[in-house]
A and B are shown apart, each in its own frame.
Chain A
């Protein structure tokens, strides 16, 4: 099983974002570095959800915003490790919509369930496969790196 390495700070930022936007889905990008041991996520960048027509169960990040995020990542010497979004009052499990709309092969898709406004489970799924036709989600272990002062 693959591993997603993430700092406690970024992990909590993702979850807090989902609580703030509840009952709507939040979304954002995760920046980091690719290693032999999986993605090392170092930052989260919030994004706007352009699916204002159905924000309670749909999200979309505009390409213009993604260009900005890619530019920011390049400036920080990082890549886009993946994306996160929330599922209000719904399990932290990828849906058929999530899979159909996922195209960043090799990146992680992190989902947080937000139940009655409170973040509960957070899961990470690697979009595996070499082509669009072979793509599939694979559950990853989330390994949280605690800050030295938290140890």
Chain B
């Protein structure tokens, strides 16, 4: 499956904007991603191994946190996973 890498994380993914991985679930795809690009791990996960709160994951067009299986959701080779750090702020 294809993982879309957001602009700020591309330097840690060999400069690539997409990475192809073989995985059975969303969680496994992230493991495969950080195995191939270890520098991404600290940007995506806390020291306790949890996904950082500001990292949004979209499986195709659906927010993974709202899927029944969350990161255990099964994926196919045709699926895409988008990593989107939050954008917010204000005066």
List residues of chain A with CB under 8 Å of any chain B CB: 25, 27, 51, 54, 57-61, 63-64, 66-67, 70, 74, 79-81, 83, 85, 87-88, 90, 94-95, 97-98, 101-107, 109, 131-132
Give A102's nearest chain B residue, CB to CB. B89
Contact A132 B43 (CB under 8 A): yes
CA A100 to CA B85, docked complex, whole Å: 13
Contacts of A102 in B (CB 8 A): 89
Task: Count B-side interface residues using an 8 Å CB cutoff.
Answer: 25
Contact A104 B6 (CB under 8 A): yes
Distance (whole angstroms) from the CB of A44 to the closest CB of chain B: 14
For chain B, residues 4 to 32, give those with C-beta under 8 angstroms from any C-beta of chain A. Answer: 4, 6-8, 10-11, 17
Contacts of B42 in A (CB 8 A): 131
Give B18's nearest chain A residue, CB to CB. A74
Contact A59 B89 (CB under 8 A): yes
Give B62's nearest chain A residue, CB to CB. A64
Q: How many A-B residue pairs have CB under 8 A?
A: 93
CA A74 to CA B7, docked complex, whole Å: 10
Indicate which residue in A60, A94, A131, A132 contacts B87 across the interface (CB closer than 8 Å). A60
Contact A79 B7 (CB under 8 A): yes
Contact A98 B90 (CB under 8 A): yes
Assuming the contacts A63-B63, A80-B7, A106-B11, asked whether A54 and B90 have C-beta atoms less than 8 A apart, the reply is yes
Contact A51 B90 (CB under 8 A): yes
* Cβ proximity bits B59-91 to A, threshold 8 Å, 1 near / 0 not: 001010000000000000000001011111111
Contact B85 A104 (CB under 8 A): yes
Give 6 CB contacts A-B under 8 Å: A51-B90, A64-B61, A67-B61, A95-B90, A97-B90, A101-B90
